Chain A
Amino acid sequence: MADSHPSTALGAGAAAHPKLQHHFYNMDQQLEASILGMWIFLVTEIMFFGGLFMAYIVYRTAYPDGWASSSQLLNVYLGGANTLVLICSSVTMALAVRSAQVGSRRGQIVNLMLTMLFGTTFLVVKYFEYAEKFHHGLVPGALWNPQHELADGTLVALALPSGSQIFFSLYFIMTGIHALHMVVGLALMAIILWMAWKGRFSPQYYGPIEVSGLYWHFVDIVWIFLFPLLYLLGFHLGQGH
């Protein structure tokens, strides 16, 4: 196969990099393998979320009105703000990787911290959104008791068309699993930040920060789809509360 068989030569006069694992010929091969490996893992994540999107498609097709009405009850402004927050975190993540590639320790640390800050902001906003759902009884199962909040703060029962409970089940499951992935991402970033602090990365060795970045961007991409599909579905009908 013509695709580049990695050169088995280390390079004239080069001593093996301390981070070169014994079964790889050189750092290039190791990095390529790591990136390929992370992408294959991300493919599994695509299929994992894919099952949820399949359920979404089936039920939205079956209950267009119920779903539009339910979607109205989600806060587009919070969801939209969260989308922008994640986009910011993606840019800082990309800049963090770039900083490692050019050997800027300061750049790595600043950008990683910003990434984590944005990620945490996302989760905090999510917490407030969830709390509001609980307050309005929009949690399927034993707590399902949809209510509408009047201007003076009193709650009155809200009649929702069929399919609504399924909408909210999927809302919680999809955003919940996404949030779990964010938490894992933040933990990953903490580790990477520590490694960057210790000066572990260099233009010759930045594999871990690059593949962690891939994971982080992927989680952003999932949200890029979740926002319009969950929040904007009923936006043209107005924002109900």
Chain B
Amino acid sequence: MTTAVVEERHSYLDAPYGVAAWLLTKDHKRIAMLYLISITVFFAVGGLFATGVRIELLTPKGDMMSADTYNKLFTLHGVVMIFFFLIPSIPATLGNFLIPIMCGAKDLAFPRINLLSWYLYIIGGLLAVGVIAGGGLDTGWTFYTPYSTSSSNTNVSLAGLAAFIAGFSSILTGFNFIVTIHRMRAPGLTWFRLPLFVWAHYATSLVMILGTPVIAITLTLMIAERTLGLAVFDPRIGGDPVLFQHLFWFYSHPAVYIMILPGMGVVSELVAAVSRKSIFGYGFVAFSSLAIAILGFLVWGHHLFVSSQSIYAGFVFSIITMLVAVPSAVKTFNWAATMYKGSVTWESPTYWVIGFMGLFLIGGLTGLFLATMGLDIHLTDTYFVVAHFHYIMVGGAIMGFLGGLHFWWPKMTGKMYPEAMGKASAILVFVGFNFTFFPQFVLGYMGMPRRYYAYPEEWQVLNVMSTLGASVLGIGYMLTFLYLVWSLFKGKVAPANPWGATGLEWETSSPPPTFNFDHDPVVNGPAYDYKPARGVHVGR
């Protein structure tokens, strides 16, 4: 490419100018950046709680803090990370930024509702800060009754309200995506020409719409029971606490698909770009996103295997849980097949994506262990479960988020980050992550329960390894934060298409103008239209 002449150009970042112009914006790209800043803050808060947990677990006895404090630390770690970081992360940042552009549209269908969703997120977040400042929460992020409704002395209702509002924020994001993808695609952009990132977010949005309201009503019932005495789960008047679990997990299981599907969408994009090849089996990958979203609603009972749920219902949930692994496996095979005989370059996004694939594989496979009812009886509520979901949510979703953040950073900010740092932090995160969580599989297998602050002496080595790994992981995240922020001030100016990737987003400037395109895009070809170099055959 010819040297870029740095001219005075106006992008969405500086036009119009001023704080009010940002806080009252209707531009999906600005809203994405507002979200990016907010979720980073909550990630740090959630990380601090995790630090507290891991420091206590350095020693076998509960000696650094009281059990009550420990309960609050792991509870708040979960609540903050799930509701205020993971659920919004990719959709509200990368999704908000890219979906309209990838559809060739000027904005999402409902820009003001998009802004409303951010404000609701902030309100929910402030309430969460209120919970933290007001003495915390100790029910576990799962809020199980009857403890949450009858016994806990912490800010249960406020926390429930915070999660309710954050959930409503995610509903508004999801419904915006669905309408945009259905009704605002550019001429020529048929469904099967859409990037897989869009398919993934469409599936995620379906889950947001259909699942989130159920946790909203569940939290409402919990708050009503706790504050108004309108009891529905109380066994003393004939209620069933397990009904709470059914209603809670009806959302919370699909919620984990809200957290991973967008990451899978990111991986599809990155794999195609770094392999310079169309995704193998595009149709299968697209439909697998939908299959995961739909099947994900049919498996919630696997969280209730030991709750006194009927074992006959357990059989059904167990079998369907095995089935839901299939579409995820389809994706993993297809990504690998894409890279095979692709023209793979080892750029920083490649590192993040390979990290995702390896860690997601382990996380997904260990899910099958837990889906097997007989085995789950021994593994449930142990560190095996903790390791399983962290492999998916941190090894998978967060690596996917960071990989996507790196890949689209030049587009969103107009700056390049130092490539060597991008690779270094990916490696640090990968290594630190494995040292943190692999020992937890072993601990769980040996029987160490989750949510306990003390454990038998013989498990200390593994716990210390886990905490050391967490330190490395934390350093990796902090390094990423530092050089990304550094790049905003000192990074090289980014060209329109630094990775040489295909996609509508790379056809506009870095960063894009407020209305995304200088011309109205028309799409004529498939999504990943990589031309083979020098006549070399690179696949279908």
Asked whether the complex places CB atoms of A and B closer than 8 A, the reply is: yes
> Does chain A have a CB within 8 A of B221?
yes
Inter-chain contact A165/B187, CB cutoff 8 Å: no
Inter-chain contact A166/B238, CB cutoff 8 Å: yes
Inter-chain contact B178/A32, CB cutoff 8 Å: no
Give chain B interface residues in 213-257, CB to chain A under 8 Å: 213-214, 216-218, 220-221, 224-225, 228-232, 237-240, 243, 246-247, 250
Inter-chain contact A51/B515, CB cutoff 8 Å: no
B47-55, B72-80, B102-110: which lies at the A interface?
Answer: B102-110
Shortest distance from the beta carbon of A162 to any chain B beta carbon, whole Å: 5
Bound form: Cα–Cα A48–B187 in Å: 36
Task: Choose one: A21, A63, A173; the contact of B232 (CB below 8 Å).
Answer: A173
Task: Choose one: B111, B171, B231; the contact of A169 (CB below 8 Å).
Answer: B231
Bound form: Cα–Cα A116–B179 in Å: 30
Task: Choose one: B171, B187, B211, B216; the contact of A5 (CB below 8 Å).
Answer: B187
Inter-chain contact B106/A23, CB cutoff 8 Å: yes
Bound form: Cα–Cα A144–B232 in Å: 14
Give chain A interface residues in 4-46, CB to chain B under 8 Å: 5-6, 8, 21-24, 29, 32-33, 36-37, 40-41, 43-46
Inter-chain contact A44/B209, CB cutoff 8 Å: yes
Give chain B interface residues in 110-124, CB to chain A under 8 Å: 110-111
Inter-chain contact B210/A140, CB cutoff 8 Å: no
Shortest distance from the beta carbon of B161 to any chain A beta carbon, whole Å: 15
Task: Choose one: A8, A48, A63, A172; the contact of B230 (CB below 8 Å).
Answer: A172
- Tell me which residues across on chain A come within 8 A of B175, comparing CB atoms: 37, 40-41, 44
Known: A140-B230, A166-B232. A22 touches B515 (CB 8 A): yes
- Tell me which residues across on chain A come within 8 A of B247, comparing CB atoms: 51, 54-55
Shortest distance from the beta carbon of A46 to any chain B beta carbon, whole Å: 8
Bound form: Cα–Cα A131–B182 in Å: 48
Inter-chain contact B238/A47, CB cutoff 8 Å: no
Give chain A interface residues in 153-182, CB to chain B under 8 Å: 162-163, 165-166, 169-170, 172-173, 177
> Does chain B have a CB within 8 A of A58?
yes
Shortest distance from the beta carbon of B67 to any chain A beta carbon, whole Å: 30
Size of the B side of the interface (Cβ < 8 Å), in residues, is 48
Shortest distance from the beta carbon of B521 to any chain A beta carbon, whole Å: 11
- Tell me which residues across on chain B come within 8 A of A142, comparing CB atoms: 229
Q: How large is the interface on A (under 10, 10 to 19, 20 to 34, 35 or more residues)?
A: 35 or more
Q: Which residue of B lies closest to A170 (CB)?
A: B232
Known: A44-B213, A55-B247. A173 touches B231 (CB 8 A): no
Q: Which residue of B lies closest to A3 (CB)?
A: B182
Known: A37-B175, A169-B231, A172-B230. A48 touches B109 (CB 8 A): no
> Does chain B have a CB within 8 A of A194?
no
- Tell me which residues across on chain B come within 8 A of A140, comparing CB atoms: 229-231, 237
Inter-chain contact A48/B217, CB cutoff 8 Å: yes
Known: A40-B209, A44-B213, A63-B238. A33 touches B229 (CB 8 A): no
Bound form: Cα–Cα A6–B189 in Å: 12
Bound form: Cα–Cα A144–B230 in Å: 10
Known: A22-B107, A62-B238. A29 touches B213 (CB 8 A): no
Shortest distance from the beta carbon of B407 to any chain A beta carbon, whole Å: 25
Shortest distance from the beta carbon of A38 to any chain B beta carbon, whole Å: 9
- Tell me which residues across on chain A come within 8 A of B217, comparing CB atoms: 48-52
- Tell me which residues across on chain B come within 8 A of A23, comparing CB atoms: 100, 105-109, 111, 184
> Does chain A have a CB within 8 A of B190?
yes
Inter-chain contact A5/B185, CB cutoff 8 Å: yes
Bound form: Cα–Cα A8–B243 in Å: 50
- Tell me which residues across on chain A come within 8 A of B231, comparing CB atoms: 140-141, 165-166, 169
> Does chain A have a CB within 8 A of B191?
yes
- Tell me which residues across on chain A come within 8 A of B218, comparing CB atoms: 51
Bound form: Cα–Cα A80–B210 in Å: 31
Task: Choose one: B209, B228, B243; the contact of A141 (CB below 8 Å).
Answer: B228
> Does chain A have a CB within 8 A of B212?
yes
> Does chain A have a CB within 8 A of B10?
no
- Tell me which residues across on chain A come within 8 A of B210, comparing CB atoms: 43-44, 47
- Tell me which residues across on chain A come within 8 A of B220, comparing CB atoms: 173, 177
Bound form: Cα–Cα A32–B180 in Å: 11
Task: Choose one: B100, B214, B229, B240; the contact of A48 (CB below 8 Å).
Answer: B214
Inter-chain contact B212/A44, CB cutoff 8 Å: yes
Shortest distance from the beta carbon of B396 to any chain A beta carbon, whole Å: 27
> Does chain A have a CB within 8 A of B492?
no
Known: A1-B191, A48-B214. A36 touches B182 (CB 8 A): yes
Inter-chain contact A166/B237, CB cutoff 8 Å: yes
> Does chain A have a CB within 8 A of B341?
no
Q: Which residue of A lies closest to B100 (CB)?
A: A23
> Does chain A have a CB within 8 A of B183?
yes
Inter-chain contact B183/A33, CB cutoff 8 Å: yes
Give chain B interface residues in 273-300, CB to chain A under 8 Å: none
Inter-chain contact A141/B229, CB cutoff 8 Å: yes
Known: A23-B184, A140-B237. A47 touches B230 (CB 8 A): no
Q: Which residue of B lies closest to A1 (CB)?
A: B191
14 contacts between A and B (CB under 8 A): A8-B187, A8-B520, A22-B107, A23-B100, A36-B178, A37-B110, A50-B217, A54-B243, A54-B246, A58-B243, A59-B232, A140-B231, A166-B237, A170-B232
Binding site for A on B (CB under 8 A): 100, 105-111, 171, 175-176, 178-179, 182-185, 187, 190-191, 209-214, 216-218, 220-221, 224-225, 228-232, 237-240, 243, 246-247, 250, 515, 520
Binding site for B on A (CB under 8 A): 1, 5-6, 8, 21-24, 29, 32-33, 36-37, 40-41, 43-52, 54-55, 58-59, 62-63, 66, 140-144, 162-163, 165-166, 169-170, 172-173, 177
Given contacts A6-B183, A50-B217, 20 further A-B contacts (CB under 8 A): A23-B108, A33-B183, A37-B176, A40-B178, A40-B209, A44-B209, A47-B214, A48-B216, A51-B214, A52-B217, A54-B247, A55-B221, A58-B240, A141-B228, A141-B229, A141-B230, A142-B229, A169-B224, A169-B231, A172-B230
